[in-house]
Amino acid sequence: MNTGLIAESRTAGRLLKNEPMALHTSWRAGGPAEMFFSPASLDDLAAFLRSLAGDEPVLWLGLGSNLLVRDGGLKGVVIATHRVLRKLERVGDHSVRAEAGVPCAKLARHCARWGLGPAEFFAGIPGTVGGALAMNAGAFGGETWQHVVDVDVIDRSGEIVTRGFGEYRVGYRSVEGPAEEWFLAATLRFEQDPQASPQAIRDLLARRKAAQPIGSPSCGSVFRNPPGRHAAELIETAGLKGHHIGDAVVSDKHANFIINRGHATAAQIEALIGLVVETVEREHGIRLETEVRIVGDPA
């Protein structure tokens, strides 16, 4: 249970101590953040960053859908932006500007209304634009950075700059750029797409629901697909569907999902991730790499 507002805070946002991260991650597991900040505005966010010590650990949080926080929690501060960086607008015949807190599903819906695409794949990404930018998230054959023109970023001094696509090294589920900068917004380019429609998104989401354990606490896909292979197939053929450690379970519906069926701890989830990696490597000679980010201290 959090301890309430920090009295000495000079920001307009909400600053909490020892905030349980299980309340803010889609796995519904994890220990507390030493500090948890929800800015009231972009100016408030910049002021807060300037107030931090230069070595203060900072973790940015969207919808918490690709994150496992260990049971011992996090030192430093978690900055939650999804309630403030929510602006989404069309800025040209082929371009939109989306702030980091915009849910990817919302971006997909608006692009469909504007007749822009291909963008429906964003509906299959269970997070925000900021998280999608940070890891080049993708679904159904589409990837975020295929559409990036430029990005706005902020650093520890609160300075905001615009950077072009060419200033980043982008790969499969990976993005490398200047250190100690965080995404605020992106300009994304699409094409006029006569097939873009809300129905196309509904069809895609129906496919997703049929194939994935939607509605159960999970992080989405746990592992990256190795070149030329599918992680789910490797996990399933290694006999791991339904395998569990405590309440952490390899989904019977999609083997690249680990679900929390009630009261799984972060330690149980991480142990099951390790078991999957070891078993797949033993059975197939392939070492899986995680998509999910694992942070914090053990209990």
Which CATH number do you get for residue 232?
A: 3.90.78.10
pLDDT beyond 90 at 2: no
Phi/psi for 215 (5° steps) reads 105, -20
Q: What angle do CA 121, 124, 129 make, to 5 degrees?
A: 80
Please give the Cα distance from 268 to 245 (Å, whole number). Answer: 6
Mean local confidence (pLDDT), 233-259:
98
Burial profile 129-165: b = 16 or more Cβ within 10 angstroms, e = fewer:
bbbbbbbbbbbeebbbbebbbbbbbbeeebeeeebee
179 domain residue, yes or no = yes
Please give the Cα distance from 257 to 272 (Å, whole number). Answer: 11
pLDDT beyond 80 at 8: no
Domain count, the chain: 3
* Residues 181-193 pLDDT 10s: 999 999 999 999 8
* Residues 19-34 pLDDT 10s: 999 999 999 999 999 9
Which residues, including other chains, have CB under 8 Å from residue 167's CB and lie 6 or more apart? 177, 178
Residues 72 and 19 in one domain: yes
Residues 61 and 103 in one domain: no
Note whether 31 and 296 are within 8 A (CB).
Answer: yes
Give the residue numbers spanning the domain of 183.
88-192
Q: What angle do CA 211, 214, 220 make, to 5 degrees?
A: 85
pLDDT beyond 60 at 206: yes
pLDDT attached to residue 10: 60
Which residues, including other chains, have CB under 8 Å from residue 13's CB and lie 6 or more apart? 37, 38, 39, 40, 41, 44, 45, 48, 84
Q: What is the mean pLDDT of the chain?
A: 93
96 domain residue, yes or no = yes
Residues 139 and 62 in one domain: no
pLDDT beyond 70 at 9: no
Strand 258-260: give its sheet, edge to edge: 244-245, 248-250, 258-260
Residues 67 and 112 in one domain: no
CATH code: domain of residue 111: 3.30.465.10
* Residues 126-185 pLDDT 10s: 999 999 999 999 998 999 999 999 999 999 999 999 999 999 999 999 999 999 999 999
pLDDT attached to residue 3: 37
pLDDT attached to residue 194: 85
Domain's final residue, options 141, 161, 192: 192
Residues 186 and 218 in one domain: no
Tokens of 120: 């429906």
Active site residues: 173, 221, 291
pLDDT attached to residue 46: 96
Residues 60 and 120 in one domain: no
6 compared with 228, residue with greater pLDDT: 228
CA within 13 Å, CB half, 263: 0
- pTM confidence score: 0.90
pLDDT band for position 195 (50/70/90)? confident
49 domain residue, yes or no = yes
